[in-house]
Structure 1
Amino acid sequence: MNFMFIICLISIFFSARGDLISFELINEISKDNAQQLLDSYVSNSPSCPYDLEMYKLEYETINQFNQIDIASGAIVVPKNQLEFYSFAIFHHGTEVRKLSTYSESGNFDILPVWLGSTYVTLLPDYLGLGSSSVFHPYQINLPSATSSVDMIYAAKQFCNIKDIHTNEQIFITGYSEGGYVSAATQKMIEESHSEDLSIAASALCAGAYDMSGTMFDLMVSNEEYGEPYYLPYILFAYQDSYNILDSVSDFFSPEYSDTLIQLFNGYHSGGAINNIMPSIPVEAMNPDLVAAAVNDINHPLRVRLRENDLYDWKPESPTNLIHSYQDELVPYQNSEIAYQKFIENGATDVDLTLVNYGYHQEAAPNVLIGSYYWFEQFRQVQLFDLGDINIDLNIDVNDIISLVSIIVNNYDPNGTELILADVNQDSLIDLFDILTIVSLILTD
């Protein structure tokens, strides 16, 4: 408790973008229960070698108004690890309730267990969700990327504090809105943070990268749409960030305006909003506004949508755009357009994987499983060496000093150190382990 108080106090006075403000253990799961969950889901699931812990992190970032803000997210880490872990950052799909995040629920469902079995797993809440107080900048490039990049920096600080040992690899993925945020995050890292952060691979799944074209045309069409609340969500977010009209109510027909304003306060679900929306979303909009936007390519809304398209850049890291042909909410043309532009811009390590996995929601599990196994070809595996008690990749006199301290009870080791200290693997930590380390040093 005193340690956490000191961390928070120091953070208040000396924090900067990406600094860890606080952390809190919110859940844990044994490796046996984790494995049981994995095996119940799919037959070829990965093995879970360690117990897992989930923490809530709060950290400093910059919001859509270029102001200092606090964001939050969850991190899943192994207990008593015996190998270096890579980072994986997963960006979730569309959420409108502030508390519908892993950092609030602490839920060990299949996703954090699956990724946590192999990676130090980051689960950002995003600005406007979790601990953040601003309106969520839905489908807006820069603040989406900024809060995600800053969580990576905060997670590295957390791992240093908790003695979680990682390598430099970062794997990026996400689905739906998370695919969009993943693209934004990858772009920002490669263009502005490549000296500090190293992307091993990025799987961009079912994201709406073509906001001004494919998605605009879909939203103003007179067709039924499975998640009608997506359209007003975009309008609320863009009005909040850009002040496109005099008032957000000007976007909507009078019979919907007041109700939608009440429902988009962060405490109602997408389903609750869908219940009051017409099945054809554009019918909730002000028809004069729709006509003006459709007929004017330079309408302020369309200008802002173009600013937030996420396909006109050049990925440098191995990148796989994965999308289901049958996706009715975020059409696969988003990924096709992005892929074509990436190639035109000179990208040489980009794949387009179009699959027949069904509609948007039903395709998600198989798409994400495919991402996981695609990542495996890039993931570096490095086990700790017995005797390297301080895990500095050298077995030397410092390890002998650590071992002696453990034997004479001058030092309280953690589980990983206890395993590494039993160099001769006889389930005892004693003089024979010291002799074994000396032998390793002399024969090196």
Structure 2
Amino acid sequence: MTDETRKSHAAQASWRTRRGLAAAAALLLTGLAAAPVAAAAGERTQQPQQTRRGDLVSVVPVADRDAGQVRSFLTERDVDTDVVRYGVRAYRLTYRTVDPHGRPTTATGLLTLPRGGTHRLDLVSDTHGTMVARDYAPSASEDFGRVPSYVNAAAGRAVAAPDYLGLGKGPGPHPYMDTASSLTASVDMLRAARTAAERLGRPLTGQVYATGFSQGGQVAMALGKALQEGADRHFRLRALAPVSGPYDLEGQEMPALFDGRVNDTSGVLYISYWLVAQNRLHPFYKDPSEVFRAPYASRVEGLLDGSYEEEDVVKGLAPSVKQLLTPAAYERLRHPTGAVLDAMRAADHTCEWKPDVPVRLYAGSADTDVPIGNTRSCARTLAGQGARVRVVDQGPVDHFGSVLVSAPQVVRFFDGVRR
């Protein structure tokens, strides 16, 4: 593990100790209360109505920050504040969606609106990176995950940031790196955001700018494709700007776990999370001991139930991927076949399309979580479809550094597209 990576993880831990609002304080903010929106808006609720994906269940205000407070929030995290023009108001949305098997469920997400600017707002979709603790999701914690939301909203756009399934206040486990269900949760968050924004007096134009970081970079690519193909008639994709996404599990990210390009700490966290989550969808094992060495086999699924912080998960597992996995599982991941290969390939097609909108892919050359080879692989795939893509290499910054540097640049890119 490099000094740069240690500093990055330490920084994340430090940020997490400086939470913005307590849950009780959130209820004191002006705006809508925690009651279901239908009741808050005075609608009739006596007659049962057919529910649909994206239907809004409730809205809870969670932050109200003036422009100076937004600048302070960003400055503490070493983010350029030149694009900040307005304060922001943020709300936790609960909405209806479906689980990985298509069954009805609910999810939560963060809607952030500028305190000023035009009446009708363009919408940014911001999809977040890997989180193991449900309470660090954008709608639940004023922390690192809100950086893109605050930057984009303070520049004058609405921002919809889904928590994904099983994170934030959503039920069940998080299906980590299941692109299909992350996509449905993201599309349905856009629908819920459209309803909420209308009722909050800031209607949306229907123009969508998609960005996302790490896991969310891959989701942003999938969302862009879905919107271009007409996933919802109310939304039109205008630009796409993912940051440091694991777009190529089979060809880049998984091999990087074994050749030294991914640091040991992150490698252990990612592969454990991926195996446990994907085993529910593409069964790899019946008992964790078939994949994980003792004593880790007896604790890994419990550590990844959404209640533990990243640092605690890492402390409870082995110091390296080789020490974590059984010899057979280690070789199976190095040379994937069967269900393991199926799971990788299920996530590996998000760059196989031709965007009709401007695209920029952002990444850092010193990233030892999601190596920049993922971004270059995606760019080659998009170019092979005839798309024009610009890769923005941020130079020697690590994984978290890549999004801190990129977030204001993404805002400027979106501004340019809009003009």
| Contact residue 38 and residue 45 of structure 1 kept, 8 A | no
Displacement of 1:78 in angstroms is 3.0
1:15 aligns with 2:51: yes
Matches within 5 A, 1:205-244: 205-221=243-259, 224-227=263-266, 228-244=268-284
Matches within 5 A, 1:100-111: 100-106=136-142, 110-111=147-148
Structure 2 equivalent of residue 46 of structure 1: 83
SS at match of 2:368: coil
| Contact residue 96 and residue 268 of structure 1 kept, 8 A | yes
SS at match of 2:264: coil
Structure 2 equivalent of residue 56 of structure 1: 92
Matches within 5 A, 1:229-308: 229-295=269-335, 297-308=336-347
Which of 377, 382, 393 is 1:354 aligned to?
A: 393
| Residues 319/100 of structure 1: CA separation in 2 closer, same or farther (3 Å cut) | same
SS at match of 1:203: strand
Per-residue CA deviation, residues 53-89 of structure 1 (Å, 9 max, x unaligned), is: 2111011111112111101011111346544321112
Displacement of 1:96 in angstroms is 0.5
Read off the aligned partner of 1:112 and give its amino acid letter: S
SS at match of 1:217: helix
Gaps of 5+ in 1: 381-444
| Residues 341/266 of structure 1: CA separation in 2 closer, same or farther (3 Å cut) | same
Which of 133, 149, 161 is 1:97 aligned to?
A: 133
Sequence identity, in percent?
Answer: 22
Task: Please give the alpha-carbon distance, in whole angstroms, between the structure 2 residues aligned to 1:146 and 1:352.
Answer: 27
SS at match of 2:101: coil
Higher relative contact order (CA 8 A, sep 6+): 2
Per-residue CA deviation, residues 311-370 of structure 1 (Å, 9 max, x unaligned), is: 3232232211111111111111111111111111122x3222223042212232112222
Displacement of 1:138 in angstroms is 1.4
Per-residue CA deviation, residues 281-336 of structure 1 (Å, 9 max, x unaligned), is: 232112112224434x4332012211211332322322111111111111111111
| Residues 128/292 of structure 1: CA separation in 2 closer, same or farther (3 Å cut) | same
Displacement of 1:248 in angstroms is 4.0
What is the Cα-based RMSD across aligned positions, in Å?
2.6
Displacement of 1:379 in angstroms is 2.3
Structure 1 equivalent of residue 185 of structure 2: 147
| Contact residue 113 and residue 153 of structure 2 kept, 8 A | yes
Structure 2 equivalent of residue 423 of structure 1: none
Task: Please give the alpha-carbon distance, in whole angstroms, between the structure 2 residues aligned to 1:73 and 1:277.
Answer: 30
Structure 1 equivalent of residue 413 of structure 2: 374
1:75 aligns with 2:111: yes
Task: Please give the alpha-carbon distance, in whole angstroms, between the structure 2 residues aligned to 1:300 and 1:343.
Answer: 29
SS at match of 1:254: coil
Query: Which of the two has higher C-alpha Rg?
Result: 1
Gaps of 5+ in 2: 1-32
| Contact residue 39 and residue 45 of structure 1 kept, 8 A | no
Matches within 5 A, 1:188-207: 188-193=226-231, 195-207=233-245
Task: Please give the alpha-carbon distance, in whole angstroms, between the structure 2 residues aligned to 1:99 and 1:292.
Answer: 33
Matches within 5 A, 1:395-406: none
The TM-score with structure 1 as length reference comes to 0.78
